[in-house]
Amino acid sequence: MTTPNIPLSTLRVSCINCNLRERCLPARMSLREIERMEDIVTTRRRVKRGDALYRAGDRFDCLYAIRLGFLKSTVMSSDGREQVTAFHMAGEMVGLDGIANEVHSCDAIALEDTEVCVIPYEKLLDLTATMRVMAAHFHRVMSREIVRQHGVILLLGSMHAEERLAAFLLNLSQRFEARGYSRSEFVLRMTRAEIGSYLGLKLETVSRVLSRFSHDGLIQVNQKHVQILNASGLRAIITGQGQSGPLRNGFTEEDRS
């Protein structure tokens, strides 16, 4: 079950003053429409690093908009191994996995101290029934999740290890930039093992590819701090136009598993 001792904020949520409003809400909302949204988003929830926002099997009744922090979604395989299925950052919504069967199908774990806005699902449905702009936005959120899953399938099904890591770093870069942060320097909130789980790679392979990227002058890595030095070079790896032949072809089938 979800960790019971996570405190709830008693402060009223203010969507109007939130610097992530443009990512959580439709751009064309009027002041009155934003106020109606605030009426249903009345609480914030804080999740400490390593704790669960929710667990697989928990009853679904809310969606969560990430205000601060970083989360991972995980599922458990039949042999007890944890599989990372997604990483979520500020401005994104989590909990959509629970809509289908009214229970959550995965765990959502905080990778750092995190704060989310709690959105009761039934109240959201009532709101979208009378506010077309919000209904369209909610549909776009669900559509983006489908597109993301397609991207993960492509990543795991057709890309070599170095292509997966290059795509992963560039995707993080774009997501940070969209939130007003640097696209060339950021901190990895997840471990190398968690990256490997998400990309379908062994820990040793992740470390080896990152070291090779660093050696080739594509990135600079200092523990969890990453600086992208040559974004064009990373993109060239994905498109097959890179000049590092051994990097493209120097991994065994075991490395790719």
Q: pLDDT, tens digit, for every residue of 209-243?
A: 999 999 999 999 999 999 999 999 999 999 875 44
Residue that has been written with the tokens 């399938």 in this structure: 153
Q: pLDDT, tens digit, for every residue of 172-183?
A: 999 999 888 999
Give the single-character DSSP code of 160.
-
Are the beta carbons of 105 and 75 closer than 8 angstroms?
yes
- Topology of domain 8-154, per CATH? Jelly Rolls (2.60.120)
Are the beta carbons of 36 and 128 closer than 8 angstroms?
no
Amino acid at site 194:
E
What class does CATH assign to 160-256? mainly alpha
Residue 140 neighbours by CB distance under 10 Å: 11
Residue that has been written with the tokens 């605030």 in this structure: 38
DSSP 170-194: HHHHHHHHHTTS-SSEEE--S-HHH
Task: Please say if the pLDDT value at position 51 is more than 70.
Answer: yes
The dihedrals phi and psi of 8, each to the nearest 5 degrees, come to: -105, 135
Q: pLDDT band for 42, please (50, 70, 90 cuts).
A: confident
Q: pLDDT averaged over the chain?
A: 84
- Which of the pair, 117 or 157, is modelled with greater confidence? 117
Domain boundaries, the chain: 8-154, 160-256
Amino acid at site 47:
V
Task: Please say if the pLDDT value at position 138 is more than 50.
Answer: yes
